[in-house]
Structures are given as structure tokens and as C-alpha cells.
Amino acid sequence: MELGNGFGEHNPISTFGMELPSVSPKLFWTFLLHATLFPCLIQRCRFSNVPANETDRLALLAFKDRITNDPLNAMSSWNDSLHFCNWRGIRCSLSDQRVTVLDLTSLKLEGSIPPHVGNLTFLNAIHLGDNSFRREIPQEIGHLVRLQFLNLSYNSFAGKIPSNLTYCSDLQVIDLNFNELVGDIPVQLSSLSKLRQLSLSVNNLFGSIPPWLGNLSSLTRLSIRRLNLQGTIPADLGRIPNLGFLQIAENNLTGTIPSAIYNLSALFILSVAANRLHGILPPDLGSRLPNLEGFYVSRNWFTGPIPVSLANASFFKELYLPNNDFTGGVPMNLGSLQYLNILFISGNRLGMGKEDDLNFINSLPNCSSLEQFGFDNNSFKGMLPNSIANLSTRLNQLVIGFNDLYGSIPEGIGNLVGLTQLNLDHNNFTGTIPVSIGKLHKLQILDLSGNRFSGQIPSSMGNFTELNKLHLQENSLLGNIPSSLGNCQKLIVLNLSQNNLNGTIPKQLLTILSLSISLNLARNSLIGSLPVEVGTLKNLQELDVSENKLSGKIPETLSSCQSLERLYMKGNAFQGTIPQSLSTLRGLGELDFSRNNLSGGIPKYLESFTSLHKLNLSFNDFEGQVPIQGVFESASEISIIGNNKLCGGIPKLDLPKCFVPRSKQRRSLSIEVIIPVIVAEATAVYKGSFFWDGLIVAVKVLNLQRQGASRSFLTECEALRNVRHRNLVKVLASCSSIDYKGNDFKALVFEYMPNGSLEEWLHPDVDGEHQPRTLNLVQRLNIAIDVANALDYLHHHCQTPISHCDLKPSNVLLDNDMVAHVSDFGIARFLSEAVDDRFTNKTNSIAVKGSIGYVPPEYGMGGDVSTLGDVYSYGILLLEMFTGKRPTQDMFKDGLNLHEFVKMALPDQVLEIADRGLLEEQKEEQEQDQEIEEEIAFSHIRSPEVKRGSVFGCLVSLFGIGVACSVESPRERMQMKDAVNKMQGIRDIFLGAGIYRKG
């Protein structure tokens, strides 16, 4: 046979030695095709009894093999005794019995999905939500071209979203909420033109909101909450015609809500809460979004008034506006929203400061579905209108604290029988607590604290059998504590402190076994003894009966309160000794028996209380030797003044020696100076060690020839005597004596910080033998938070606020674990408690000194000392830490300073001004993190070293705080407690540790 090869040539072919007749090429190829297919046809006939759906059964068995835990025995039916179409969670087509649905929702299964799932080619729905599946989502899911529904939510899937889902062109629903997925939102999803729902919330995704989402014209639901997303909201989302549910809350988004979003007339849920958005809501918002049912914009920076047009959205159910900067009055027409279920406008600047501020409440009784209503932390003034009593009986939360409301509580408050939470705290309410309040049998939280209520506590409060927390402190309540409160057997917190209550402590109060967090009866006029029944409170963590007129002995039964962490009994007339039985309370952290009539010795067992860090035994009649171990090792953690018969203790207590045999006397304090560490104008710091135990210390010796050195020594001693915090340098001893030449000698002994100062790390003085040390982004972030915590403690948590006055990198020391400790209190100032620490202290401001570049501008102009001066210094320190530039560099001149330099770069140029070493280090770490991600993709154990956030976003936020803290006007600076919260929030986002809270 000769066949043409396509080039005009022929080749002879012989078969079995036989010459075949010549045939045409077309005929030959036809023959060859049939000859090839014929064996296949024969084979198919031979095995026609094998089901075509066998691959489905094998794929399902492979799926079962990957299940590692089945606590509900849900997979027991998956065996050969049943056809696989009858297995639990399986649905098949009727015609050819191919698997079409795999539904194992909420069965507590643990395991992973095998790649064999890609062989279930007839699948149109996978529902595996609410289980504990982990590892990656297999790429083979992309083989399921018939797939319409994919629900893997509420599991622990890791790795990236499979990009080849794009081949599942019929997909209508993708729900991957609440997993541990990483990476960005893959652009391949943009081709899924039939997609109606895309839910990716609460994962570890990052990047920005992709504008191509606007091309998904079939989308009705988009949920991308808490994904560490950066940037702005793209206006392209306004092009999705039927979008009804848009949830982009709890990211790190900036800018405004694009106007196009307000044109999505189908929108019924819009949630952008907990971002950094700003702007004014459009006045016609309700008209443009007539179908709106839920609007969540809390925890942003929105300003302006609440739009009156909201009432035009007649289907409105939930309105969340808390923690913004809204101003003005509340629209009077909200009562027309008959479906309104939740109204929260807390934490703004709403209210006009007029007596009619609350008139808007008069229309709300028309909202018969109202269940939650809160307008606390605003500027509302006036009396609570009687119409409050006509609100829906379905109302379960009424939160209106921290305003300027006055007058009495309407008696009709008892009509709100559905209430589980009532907060009227921190207003100026007067009169008595209405007896009708006892009708609120469902109450779980009642807070009336911080008002001017008088009269007696109504005995009807004993009807609160569901109550968990009762706060009546800081009022002017009189009379006895009603014994009926003993009926409140679900209380975990009871606070009646700072009133004018008298009589004895009812024994019934001490039989509330549920009390676990706090029982606070302090600052009243209670008499009698502390009942022995107190021992029944076995789960109580805090007991405070301070500042009363209690007497008798400390009950031995207190030893049964094994959960006690804080015990305060100061300012009473307790007598006798501290019972030996209290030695079992080893969890105590704070103990205050001061200003009583206690006697005997200080129990030695207190030395063994490892958690005890605050002990006050002052002004009693204790005698004998003061222990020296445990809490007694630090003079700043104990107070024993006013006990004239005590002796011994550590040298700093300056007590007379106890008479003990010479052989038992402890060796005196002696320090071996090794080498000078720092020499400055007024001080020299030496590295030394104690002779007896070799403890390495830092010894700061003052040069008393320098003007002000003695005063600096006294100031630092006074400051350090009054403070104790993990981020403040700890003083071990002080010395005021005469040297060998007869000159005054003053020194302080501190913990030695082996990693030196922050100054040495930021600006290393490198020689030829040493390589520069660098701090990575996370280390700098941790150090900055440590410093912020130290200042927050000094400003807001000391008995008298303290301004450090000289914060700079050289005064931030780093211990062996790179934990930061603020040091050098030589020019610190104690601020008057009578002055609001947000503003100024009016004394001795002219004597304040500091360091150039870090001193707030108001000090240079004769301004007064304030904690906000420290805030300025902290802001400069923060900018220096992340730019690597000192505020005194030569480049800062002619009106340009470090503050303005960073401010001009925000937000787009932050990477250009960031410390180069920081970015290079971070680049290396990110490459390592990528490798770690790949290693853990098949493990549910996630390495804490893997970074979750954006370096760019982190720097934008950090520089933003630094600029906000270092503004020129003190009144415009934030307080340190706010800076601490923001800094910790940045770290949580960067490391992927966010916390979700609705609204």
C-alpha cells in the first residue's frame, strides 16, 4: 500500500510480508480510525455492567477518609450497606444517580477536603459550613463546572482563595466567611458574571477593595468585613444595580463614602463601621436609599447632623451611629419608622445644650418594634420626658448615661417590662429611685451611678431575680441596705459605694453565691462587724468595705474566699490581729488594712504571696520585725508608716534594727562598681553589682556641683517612690551620704538594662569593629506601645498625675527582652489633682526644662506644665522612631520641623520617609513570612510570627498618631489613654488580632 505523505511522495507499506493494493489516503485514514475505535467499543460492551457513577462513590470515600473527628457520628451511613445516594448529606440526580449536592453543615466535623472532590463533576452545591475543616481549599474545586453554591464558612481553611474558581462559571454563591484565608481577593473572580453573593468576611486577607467588583452586575450581597483592607471605597461599587447588602466594616479604610453608593436604590444593608471614614452624610440619604433597613457607620469620624430624610426610608430597622462626631439635634420624625428595632446614637456630640434636647423621644412610642435605644455619651440636656414610659414594651436596652440630664426618673419607667439593661449613669438625676423600678423583673444590668439620687434603696429591687450587675455608687442614698437584695441570686457585681448608707451589712447580702467580680460597699457609714457569712463568697474576686465605721475582728472565714484578688478594708475600726487562716489566700494581688486598730505582728506568710504587689498596713498598731522577702523587697509596693513599734525590713524603709543574734544579721548593702556606662553634665551612670548575690545594677551618681542636681535627686526620688509600672525603670535603692572628701554624695540604684537606650538603637555610633543594630517594625511598635503605657500610667493612674517633662530616646531603656522602660524623672512634675489633667498645672512652669526638639512649644513660651506636654514629646519620639530622623537634624530649619515633614508625606509618601533600615528589614521578614505561610498551609497551628497587616497601612496609622500628638496647640492633642488604645489597635490589625463587635 502506498500512502501520500502530503508532499507529493508515496511510501510503500507491507504487512506480514504481503504487498497490499494501492488505496487512497482518505480511505486509509477512515480505516485506521475505525480500527482504532473498534477495540474501545468492544471493551465498552464487555464492561457495560460497571456504573458510570462509580467515580462519585470513590470520591466520596476519599472525602470520608479525610475526616479525622466525627463526634456526632454523622458519617456512619457512609458504607457499602447503602447506596451512596442515600448517605447522609448526599443528594443525587434521579436520572443517572450522579451526586449533585454535598451538604454536611453544622456536624462538628474535623478534617480536610481531598482533591478527589474535583471528580464529583455533577455537583451544583457544596455546603460544609460551621465545622472544623482546615488546610487549603483544593484547587480541584475548579473542575466542578456545574457548581452554583459554595459554602465553606465558619471553618479553619487556610491558604489562598483558589484562583481557578473562575472555571466554575455558573457560581452564584461563594461564602467563605470566618476562616483563616490569606492573600488578596483574586482578580480571577471578576469573570463570574452569575455571582449573586460574595462573602469573605473575617479572614486574613489584605490589599484594597478591588474596583472590578463593580463589574459583577448580578451581585446582590457583598460581605468583606474585617479583612485588613486598606485604601478607599471604590466608586465602582455604585455600578452594581441590584446590590442590596454591602458590608465592609472593620477594615482600615479611609476617605468618604462615594456618592455613587447612595444611588444604589436596592440597598437595604450598608455597614461601614469601625474604619477611618469621614465626611457628612447627605441630607437626602433616606430618599436616595428608600429600601434601607440597616445603616451601620459607628466608630468612624463622620461629622455634621443626622439627616432628617432618614424617616423617608420607611423600612428602617437598625440605625447605628455611635462613636463618631455627629452634632446638632436628633430628627423629630424618627417616630414614623414603624419597623425601627435598634436606635443607637451614642458617643457623639449630639444635643444643643437646651432643655428641649430630648423632645425627639416624644415621637418614639410610635416605634412599636423598638428593642434597643441608646444615646449615652453625648451633650443632651434637660429632663427625661414622661413619654419615655410609653416606649415599646419590647424595649430591652435603654442606655442614656453620660449626658447632662436632670430631674427625677418618671414613675412610669416601670412600664418598660421588657428591659434587660437600663443605664442612666453619670447624669444629674435627683430625687428618689422610683419604687416602680421593681417591676422590671427581666433586668440583668442596672446602672444608676454617678447621679444625685437620695432617699432609700427601694426594697422592690429584690424582685431583680435575673440581675447580674447593680451599680448605685456615687449618689446620696440613705438608710439601710435592704436585705431583699439577697434575692438577687444571679448578681456578679454589686456596687453601693460612695453613698450615705448606714446600719449593718445584711447577712443576706453575703449569701449571694453568684457574686464573683466585685462586692463594693466602700465610703458609706456602715457599722457593726463584717459578718462571718462573708466566707460563703467563694468565687469573689474583689471585696471593698473601706471607709466605713466597721469594727470587730477580721473574720477567720475570709479564708474561704479562695478567689479573692483584691481585699480592701481600710479606714474602719477593725481590731485584733491579722488571722493566720488568711494564709490560704495566695491569689491576693492587693491588700489594704490601713487606718484601723489592728495589732500584733505582720504575718510572715505574706512573703509567699507571689501575686501580691500592693500591700498597705499603715496607721495601725503592728509591732515586731518586718519581713524582707516577696512583696516586702520593694518599698514602693508596701506602706507601713504609722506603726511605731516595727523594726527591721529592707534598708529603704529606714526602720530601727531588730534585736537579733549577730550570727543571724544580714550583710549590709554594698555595691562593687565595675565600669562607667554614661557620663552626662549632672550625672554619671555606672554598671555595678551587689557583693552578696552578684546582681547587675546601674548606679546613677549625681554631680552635685551642677546647679539643680540636688533638687533633681529629690524630684526623682519622690517620683519613683510614688510609681510602679512594668514600663517604668525600677529603683532598687538610694544613697544620700558623704564621700571620702567630705562632700555630699547622692546616687540611685536601678535595674540594669542590658540592651541600652532606644537612642543607641535608632542612631548607633558604629565603629569598624561593630555592625549597627537595627529594630524591625514590630519591635519598634512594641517599644512605642510600652512607652505609651508608661505615660498613660503616669498621667491617669497615679494618685497624683505626673508629667515626665523629658521624654526622649535616651531616656527609654530596653531590658533583656527588649521591653521598654521610661527613665530619668529628674525634672518630673506632680500635677495638682484639682486641675483637669487635659489642660495645665499652674505652678513652677518657668523652671521646667527639657531637651531641645522634644520640649512642647508652649513650654518655650512660658506655658504651664501639663500631661499634654508629654504627649507632644511622645509624638516627636514616635515620628523619630519610624523615620530614623532626629528632630534636631540640620534639615529641619526655615519653618520645617519633624512634625511638618511627616505631615506633608501623609498618607501617600510614608514609605519614602520611613527609616530605610526598617523597610529593608521588613522586606526580609515578609519574604520569610511567605515561606512560613507555605509551611503552615496544611496545619491548623498558625505561627505568631506571620504578619497579617500592611506595612504601608501600619506606617500611615503610626505617623498619623505621631502627627496628632505633636500638634502645636495642646488642646488639640489626644490624651495618652487614647494614644494607647489606638497604638494597640494598630498592632492588633498588623498582626491579625482584631476583635469583632457588632455596630
Q: How many CB atoms lie within 10 A of CB 92?
A: 19
- Alpha carbons 795 and 663: distance in angstroms, whole number: 47
Cell numbers for 294: 440597616
pLDDT of residue 942: 32
CA angle 202, 64, 112 (to 5 degrees): 30
Q: Which residues share a beta bridge with 255?
A: 277
The model's confidence at residue 630, banded by pLDDT at 50, 70 and 90, is very high
pLDDT class of 208 with cuts at 50, 70, 90: very high
**Which of 29-38, 227-236, 291-300 comes out lowest in average pLDDT?**
29-38
The answer, yes or no, to whether residue 17 has pLDDT greater than 50, is: no
Which numeric CATH code is attached to 667-752?
Answer: 3.30.200.20
pLDDT at 940: 33
Q: Which residue has the cell 550570727?
A: 663
Q: Which of residues 756 and 175 earns the better pLDDT score?
A: 175
Torsion angles phi and psi, residue 792, rounded to 5: -60, -40
The 3-state secondary structure of 737-782, one letter per residue: EECCCCCEEEEEEEECCCCCEHHHHHCCCCCCCCCCCCCCHHHHHH
HEC profile of 199-247? ECCCCEECEECCHHHHHCCCCCEEECCCCCEECCCCHHHHHCCCCCEEE
How confident is the model over 534-559, as a mean pLDDT? Answer: 96
Of 85, 81, 136, nearest in space to 113 by CA: 136
The answer to whether 882 and 957 are in contact (CB under 8 A) is no
- Distance between CA 639 and CA 581 in Å, rounded? 22
Closest CA to 959 of 888, 894, 877: 877
Cα–Cα separations (whole angstroms), residue 272 to 276, 286, 296, 299: 9, 17, 6, 9
The percent of residues above 90 in pLDDT, for the chain, comes to 65
Q: Which amino acid is at 8?
A: G
Across 6-15, 949-958, 979-988, the highest mean pLDDT is recorded for 979-988
Whole-number average pLDDT of the chain: 84
Phi, psi of 724 (to 5 degrees): -155, 115
Taking residues 25-36, what's their average pLDDT?
Answer: 44
Return the domain boundaries, the chain. 2-46, 55-205, 211-350, 577-660, 667-752, 758-990
- Checking if the pLDDT of 596 tops 60, the result is yes
The gap from C-alpha 174 to its chain's centroid, in whole angstroms, comes to 29
Q: What's the pLDDT band for 336 if we cut at 50, 70, 90?
A: very high
Residue 183 has pLDDT above 70, yes or no: yes
Closest CA to 241 of 211, 215, 217: 217
Closest Cα partner for 493 from 513, 519, 465, 512? 519
Q: Does the pLDDT value for residue 769 go beyond 60?
A: no
Cβ-contact 526, 545 below 8 angstroms = yes
Q: How confident is the model at residue 292 (pLDDT cuts 50, 70, 90)?
A: very high
Dist. CA 678–CA 882, nearest whole Å: 25
DSSP string covering 50-117, please? S-TTHHHHHHHHHHHHTEEE-TT-TTTT-STTS-GGGSTTEEE-TTT--EEEEE-TTS--EE---GGG
Residue 494: its pLDDT value, please?
97
The pTM of this model reads 0.63
Given a contact cutoff of 8 angstroms between Cβ atoms, the answer to whether 476 and 453 are in contact is yes
Residue, of 589 and 680, whose pLDDT is higher: 589
What's the confidence (pLDDT) of residue 738?
Answer: 64
289: number of Cβ within 10 Å: 25
Indicate the SS3 state at residue 673. strand
Distance CA 93, CA 89 (A): 14
pLDDT tens-place string over residues 833-867: 433 333 334 333 334 467 888 889 888 777 778 88
Residue 919 has pLDDT above 80, yes or no: no
pLDDT (0 to 100) of residue 394? 96
For 679-734, the pLDDT digits (tens) are 447 457 777 665 445 567 787 776 655 555 555 666 666 666 667 788 888 877 76
CB 145, CB 165: distance < 8 Å: no
DSSP tag of 33 = H
Q: Which amino acid is at 399?
A: V
SS3 call for 197: strand
Cα dihedral 744→749→753→757 (10° resolution) = -30
* Confidence tier at 189 by pLDDT (50, 70, 90): very high
Task: Please name the residues in contact with 521: beta carbons below 8 A apart, sequence gap of 6 or more.
Answer: 481, 496, 497, 501, 505, 544, 545, 548
Q: Could you identify the residue written with the cell 490581729?
A: 577
**Position with higher pLDDT, 8 vs 511:** 511
**Residue 910 cell numbers, joined:** 510614608
3-state secondary structure of 534: helix
When mean pLDDT is compared across 121-135, 236-250, 514-528, 654-668, the lowest value belongs to 654-668
- Compute the distance between CA of residue 135 and CA of residue 715 in angstroms, rounded to an integer: 59
3-state secondary structure of 967: coil
Give the homologous superfamily in CATH for domain 758-990.
Transferase(Phosphotransferase) domain 1 (1.10.510.10)
Question: How many whole angstroms separate alpha carbon 728 and alpha carbon 790?
Answer: 6
pLDDT of residue 774: 82
Which one-letter amino acid corresponds to residue 579? P
Where are any strands of DSSP class E within 653-756? 671-679, 683-690, 696-702, 731-738, 744-751
| Superfamily in which the 211-350 domain is placed by CATH | Ribonuclease Inhibitor (3.80.10.10)
Count of Cβ atoms closer than 10 Å to residue 537 Cβ: 24
Is the distance from CB of 269 to CB of 220 less than 8 angstroms?
no
Residue 663: predicted pLDDT: 38
pLDDT at residue 666 tops 60: no
Please check the confidence at residue 988 and state whether its pLDDT lies above 90: no
Contact 735, 701 (CB under 8 A): no
Q: Which residues pair with 111 in a beta bridge?
A: 67, 133
**CA-to-CA distance for 607 and 172, rounded, in angstroms?**
67
Q: How far apart are CA 966 and CA 974, in angstroms?
A: 9
Intra-chain end-to-end CA distance of the chain, in Å: 84
Q: Tell me whether domains 577-660 and 758-990 share a fold.
A: no
Q: Specify the long-range contacts of residues 384-390, CB closer than 8 Å, at least 24 apart.
A: 384/358, 384/409, 384/410, 384/429, 385/358, 385/359, 385/361, 385/410, 386/410, 386/412, 387/361, 387/362, 388/361, 388/412, 388/413, 389/413, 389/414, 389/415, 389/416, 390/365, 390/415
Catalytic residue among 425, 544, 806, 837: 806
For 130-162, letters b (16+ CB in 10 Å) and e give bbbbbbbbbebbbbbebbbbbbbbbbbbbbbbb
Confidence at 993, pLDDT banded by 50, 70, 90: very low
pLDDT value of residue 695:
67
Q: Where does the pLDDT of residue 736 fall: very low under 50, low under 70, confident under 90, or very high at 90 and above?
A: low
Please give the backbone phi and psi of residue 945, each rounded to the nearest 5 degrees, phi first: -85, -10
Residue 760 CB coordination number (10 Å) = 16
Q: Select the CATH number that applies to the domain covering 55-205 from these four: 3.80.10.10, 3.40.250.10, 3.40.50.2300, 3.40.50.300.
A: 3.80.10.10
- Ranges of beta strands (E only) in 942-991 are none
Averaged pLDDT for residues 344-357: 94
Query: Contact 409/384 with Cβ under 8 angstroms?
Result: yes
CA-nearest of 470, 469, 477 to 451 is 477
With cell 431575680, the residue in question is 465
Assess whether the previous peptide bond of 656 is cis (omega < 30° from 0). no
Residue 700 in contact with residue 679, Cβ under 8 Å? no
What is the pLDDT at residue 49?
45
Tell me if residue 806 is catalytic.
Answer: yes
User: Which pLDDT does position 409 carry in this prediction?
Assistant: 96
CA dihedral 729, 734, 738, 739 (to 10 degrees): -50
How far is Cα 736 from Cα 745, in angstroms, rounded to an integer? 6
Q: What are phi and psi of 957, to 5 degrees?
A: -65, -45
Residues 840 and 969: their CA atoms lie apart, in Å, by 13
Pick the CATH number of 577-660 from 3.40.50.720, 3.40.190.10, 3.80.10.10, 3.20.20.70: 3.80.10.10
Number of C-alpha atoms within 13 angstroms, CB side, residue 811? 23
Mean pLDDT of 141-164: 96
